[in-house]
Every structure is written in C-alpha cells, then in structure tokens.
Amino acid sequence: MLTQQILQILVDQPVENIIDVYGWVKTRRDSGSISFFEVNDGSCQENLQVITDQSLVNFDTEIKKVSTGSSVHVRGKLVSSPAKGQDVELQAMEMELIGWADPEVYPLQKKRHSFEFLRTIPHLRPRTNALGAVARIRSCLNFAIHRFFKERGFFQVHTPIITTSDCEGAGEMFTVTSLSLDQVVGETGYEHDFFGRRAGLTVSGQLQAEIYAQTLGRVYTFGPTFRAENSHTSRHLAEFWMLEPEMSFCDLQCDMDVAEELIRDLVSIVMKECPQEIELFNRFIDKGLKQRLQKTAEEPFARLTYSAAIDSLKSAEKTFEFPVSWGMDLQSEHERYLCEEILQRPVILYDYPEKIKPFYMRMNDDGTTVAAMDVLVPCIGELVGGSQREERYEKLAERMDDAGLNRNDYDWYLDLRRFGSVPHSGFGLGFDRLIQFVTGMQNIREVIPFPRTPGSAPC
Ligand code: 4AD
Ligand code: MG
C-alpha cells in the first residue's frame, strides 16, 4: 500500500491493520534495543515511521545494517502513534532489506546538501525532500493544465519538435542534421541533408498551433522547447517546457484574460493539491511563498501598457544597471521591480514597441506598437509572452520583409491569411518558470529533472 493512502485513511480513523510497505529509508535512529526508520515510497512528502526491535528474526543480521538510501519491504501493524510528529506508525512484524546503500559511499546523508552539489548527482537528487517535492508539483501542474483546457473546450495539438521555421526569428535554433560537420558547408550543404533543407529543434510550437486554431478554434500545445541561447541566468534553460494556447476569434484582451485565469487557477490547484510540498518550500526555501501564492490566486493582476511601465520605472527612486528608456527591451531587474516593488503583484504589460517584438504580432493603429503582452510575476519576471497575431495579409507580409524573412519560406503561414483569416491570439507560458514561481526555488536548474544549459548535459 502507498504511504500516501495509508496516511490519508488513518488520519481520520486510526485502526489496527496489517500493511505492506515498500520504499526507501530516509533516516534511521537507534534507541536502546529499538530502531526507528523513516520510510518513504515517494507517493507523498510525509514519511512513515517504522519501528523494529529484537523480536524480528533478522534484527541483528540484517536490520542493523539498514542505512539511509536502502530499499526495504516492511510488513507490520499500523497503529496510532503515541509520539509527537506523526499520527500513525508501523510496528514491523517483518522487515526485508531489498537493496543496501553503503553509508560509506552513499552521497546523500542526513545533512542538507547544496543544490549545486546535488546537480552533480542528477541520478540521485530526486531522492532529496526538495527535489522530490518539485517532481510531484510538476506532475500535479502538468495534469492541471490539461484539465484547465479540456474544461474550456480546447483541443491539444502535437506540434513538431523538428521544424524548419524559426518562430521567434532570434536565430536560436539548434540545427538537426544527419550529415557530418565537414559535409555541411554553408547553407547549400543542407540540400543534401536529411530533410533537404536546414531543420532545427523547435523554439516554439506557435506557428503550427495557429494552423490548427484556424480549424479547431481553440487549441494548445505543450512540450519541450529548445533554444541555443548562451544565457547563464537562473531563469534560462536550453531545453525547457512551454505551454502554448492559440485561440481564434480572440483579441489581446481575451488573450490576457485567459493567461490570468490560467495562472490563478494553477496556483490555487497547487496550494490545494500539494499542501505538504508548499509547506516544505515555505519553511526551508522561501518564507514569503505561501502569502505570495495566496495573493496571486485571489487578487486580480495589474495591467498596464509598456509605455506606462516605462514612465513608472523612470520616476522610480532606483538606479538600474540598464537605464530605462522607451523602446528598450525590459530586463529582469525592471520586470521584477515593477511587480515586486511598484505594484506588489503579478502584472500584465501590453502594447510593446514593434521593433523589439517578432514579426507575427499584430500592428496597433499607432504604427509604433504591437498587440503584445507579457505576464510578469514577483521573483521571476517574465512568465508568459504572447500577443494578438497579425491576421491581415499585407501587413504581415510587410513585417516579414522588414524582419528580413523570405516570404517563400513562410508561404503556408501567409496562406492562412488568404483563406478565411480570423483575428486570433495566443501566448507561451514557461512551465519551468511556473514551477519556480510556485516553489520559490532560486534557480531554474532545480525545477526540471534534467537541466540542459550551456556546457552541461550530464545524463
Ligand atoms: O516570450 P517567448 O519567447 O514567446 C514565444 O516563444 C511565443 N512564440 C509564445 C506564443 O505566443 N505562443 O517565450 C514564452 C515563455 C517566456 O515567457 C518564458 O516564460 C519561457 O517561455 N522561456 C523560457 N524558459 C526557460 N528557458 C528559456 N530559455 C526560455 N525562453 C523562454
Ligand atoms: Mg518573451
């Protein structure tokens, strides 16, 4: 039986029961002729206390050897615990050592290890309380995302991982080739490559999601995304997970509404479904976490234009590393100052200068800004980036020319504006950044099981 189920049942009605548990030993403590074990099978944050004594036939020969990290099977009687710290405990009738972990060399001992050290052992780090909790929260939110969209009539579309379109136009695509390096001599070499042209790993599924939004109405894609961006920050990964809804007959206002509703819904769910994990992070990682999450779930986000944000940053009594001026791309220090200091809550900025945004965003009537929006949250900065898309053929074609894109490469994208074009919008939510936000973890490398960053892909 899973400890998650055991602990659930017995909180309400402690009964004596014979139960089998399989799991890993978190700690052991010896007191006289009794040994106490904290056993965890991964199903929940809480451990199950197991009590063993001399009455077990293998107590001296085997159980005395059982150490942190060992895997065990215990059959025992579940009883209300007389001691503080747990409601129930398991009085072992049998304990079998399945796999021993030699304490002389097992790297995870009872003391707290730094996250930097844990990154050096990616195969063992999920066994720590914090990283195990992150993994459960990721899974919970992954499921909650699908439920959110299903309940609102969206369809999931599997957009390609290998693509020939650089959606963001930032030149950050990893190339996918079956040729050897010396065969790829410049762009012409790709004619002989696997796909007959240069292909890469997707930087966003948006353009393909737009195709399906124009037939299924409301769709989303959710999968791994890749960027060969040489960023060594605590918010960037070379491989990250992005959720991208795309909605027909939806303008920028509607786009912002869906993004806000989604984030607030996901935050409420994680507080409701993972209370032990959130408690752990609030206690050991970030003391303001619970309060911040509560506020995010309950209060509307602030909304203001990019221009208003620039004005407000300019009049702030703060010296930024990057001086503020209209037309600049906001840096994390500006984004965080806006939502942490000035507005003290998540904020949606919209109507950005067209020069700093990709070609597909819809031009506003002022001719200088586009219908873009970013959701910024405390401690992280940008969590979501989205926009209303340019649905007018001529305007889109002009923006593509300005961006130096070849119309022929995007003829299918332009075609969508020739045949039954509709106003539509969407956004991308960085799933790993969302996990950072709900756990308070400082570094994005701790919230994804296997972080890939410049110079690092250990397993
Ligand atoms: O703002 P971005 O680049 O937007 C797009 O890719 C759009 N095509 C999305 C769309 O409209 N469908 O990325 C969206 C989000 C960012 O706000 C950020 O949260 C996350 O993806 N993100 C990253 N997360 C981790 N590591 C990186 N290198 C990231 N780059 C973007
Ligand atoms: Mg962005």
Does residue 7 have a pLDDT over 90? no
User: Among residues 60, 83, 108, which one ends one of the domains?
Assistant: 108
Which residue out of 165, 227, 433 has the highest number of ligand 1 atoms within 8 Å of its CB and is therefore the one to mutate? 433
382-417: buried (b, 16+ CB within 10 Å) or exposed (e) per residue?
bbbbbbbbbbeeeebbebbeeeebeeeebeebeebb
Residues 71 and 213 in one domain: no
Checking DSSP bridges between strand 34-40 and strand 17-31, what pairing results, if any? antiparallel
Residue nearest to atom 25 of ligand 1 (CA): 236
Length of the chain: 459
Is the confidence at residue 156, as pLDDT, over 90? yes
- Statement to judge: residues 24 and 167 lie in one domain: no
The rounded Å distance from CA 223 to ligand 1 centre is 12
User: What is the share, in percent, of the chain residues with pLDDT greater than 70?
Assistant: 97
| H-assigned helices in 13-128 | 115-119
Residue 454 lies in a domain: no
Q: For residue 457, tell me if it sits in a domain.
A: no
Give the pLDDT mean for 222-227. Answer: 98
Do 249 and 330 belong together in one domain? yes
Q: Which two tokens stand for residue 427?
A: 């956004």
354 Cβ closer than 6 Å to some ligand 1 atom: no
User: Whose structure tokens read 């992005």?
Assistant: 242
**Ligand in closest contact with the CA of 387:** 1
237 lines ligand 1 (CB under 6 A): yes
More reliable by pLDDT, 192 or 434: 434
User: Which burial class, exposed, middle or buried, applies to 222 when counting CB atoms under 10 A from its CB (0-12, 13-18, 19+)?
Assistant: buried
The region of weakest confidence among 171-180, 425-434, 436-445 is 171-180
- pTM, two decimals, is 0.95
Task: Please list, in sequence order, all residues whose beta carbon lies within 8 angstroms of the beta carbon of residue 375, skipping any fewer than 6 positions away.
Answer: 256, 259, 260, 263, 301, 346, 347, 348, 382, 383, 384, 427, 429
208 CA from centroid of ligand 1 (Å):
16
The reported pLDDT for the residue numbered 110 is 76
**Mean residue pLDDT across the chain:** 94
- pLDDT beyond 90 at 340: yes
Region 281-298: what's the mean pLDDT? 97
Domain holding 64: CATH number? 2.40.50.140
Which structural domain range is residue 88 located in? 3-108
- So what's the pLDDT on residue 160? 98
| Paired strand residues for 241 | 224
Does the CB atom of residue 337 touch ligand 1 within 6 A?
Answer: no
* pLDDT (0 to 100) of residue 8: 67
Q: Is the pLDDT of residue 239 over 90?
A: yes
Q: CB of 335 closer than 6 A to ligand 1?
A: no
Are residue 275 and residue 171 in the same domain, yes or no? yes
353 and 259, same structural domain?
Answer: yes
Q: How confident is the model at residue 169 (pLDDT cuts 50, 70, 90)?
A: confident
Q: Is residue 252 part of a domain?
A: yes
| Segment (H or E) for 381 | strand 381-388
**Domain ends where: 62, 77, 108?**
108
Q: Are residues 442 and 332 in the same domain?
A: yes
Looking at the fold, whether 87 and 136 belong to one and the same domain comes out as: no
Residue 167: what pLDDT?
Answer: 81
Q: In which band, very low, low, confident or very high, does the pLDDT at 112 lie, cut at 50, 70 and 90?
A: confident
* 408 vs 167 pLDDT, higher one: 408
Q: Which ligand is nearest to the CA of 236?
A: 1
Count: domains in the chain: 2
pLDDT digits (tens, 9 = 90+) for 302-327: 999 999 999 999 999 899 999 999 99
How far is it, in rounded angstroms, from Cα 233 to Cα 210? Answer: 31
| 121-154 tens-digit pLDDT | 999 999 999 999 999 999 999 999 999 999 999 9
Structure tokens at 172: 């950050």
Cβ contacts of 382 within 8 Å, gap of 6 or more? 332, 335, 374, 375, 376, 430, 433
Instruction: With CA atoms as reference, report the closest residue to 57 among 39, 40, 75, 83.
Output: 75
pLDDT tens for each residue of 240-278 = 999 999 999 999 999 999 999 999 999 999 999 999 999
Q: Which residue has the tokens 């009883």?
A: 79
Would residue 113 count as lying in a domain?
no
Residue 120 in domain: no
Q: How far apart are CA 363 and CA 366, in angstroms?
A: 8
- Are residues 52 and 142 located together in one domain of the fold? no
Query: Looking at residue 439, what is its pLDDT?
Result: 98
Highest mean pLDDT pick, 10-14, 69-73, 163-167 = 69-73
Question: In the structure encoding, which two tokens stand for residue 168, read together?
Answer: 């963001």
- CB of 166 closer than 6 angstroms to any ligand 1 atom: no
Residue 413's pLDDT band (boundaries 50, 70, 90)?
very high
Quote the tokens at residue 80. Answer: 């209300």
Contact assessment for residue 138 and residue 435, using Cβ atoms and an 8 Å cutoff: yes
Query: Do 174 and 33 lie in a common domain?
Result: no
What pLDDT shows up at residue 423? 98
Q: Both 291 and 435 in a single domain?
A: yes
Q: Is 167 in the pocket of ligand 1 (CB under 6 A)?
A: yes
Neighbouring residues of 199: CB distance < 8 A, sequence distance ≥ 6: 162, 163, 164, 175, 176, 177, 190, 193
Is 11 a residue whose pLDDT tops 60?
A: no
Please say if the pLDDT value at position 16 is more than 80. Answer: no
250 and 257 Cβ atoms separated by less than 8 Å: no
User: For residue 247, is it within any domain?
Assistant: yes
Give the pLDDT score at 9. Answer: 59
Query: What pLDDT was estimated at residue 76?
Result: 96
**385 CA distance to ligand 2 centroid (A)?**
4
pLDDT at 86 over 80: no
DSSP E strands in 32-124: the ranges are: 34-40, 48-53, 71-80, 88-99
346 lines ligand 1 (CB under 6 A): no
Return the closest-CA partner of residue 28 out of 77, 75, 58, 72: 72
Domain assignment of residue 202, yes or no: yes
Residues 45 and 183 in one domain: no
Q: How confident is the model at residue 186 (pLDDT cuts 50, 70, 90)?
A: low
What CATH number has the domain bearing residue 393?
3.30.930.10
**Amino acid identity, residue 286?**
D
pLDDT tier at 171, thresholds 50, 70, 90: confident
Q: Are 256 and 373 in contact (CB under 8 A)?
A: yes
Residue 331, domain member (yes or no)? yes
**275 and 401 inside one domain:** yes
Q: Is 218 exposed, middle or buried (0-12, 13-18, 19+ CB in 10 A)?
A: buried
Q: How far is the CA of 230 from the centre of ligand 1 (A)?
A: 15
Q: Looking at 55, 79, 108, which one is the last position of a domain?
A: 108
Residue 245 near ligand 1, beta carbon < 6 Å: no
pLDDT given at position 49: 95
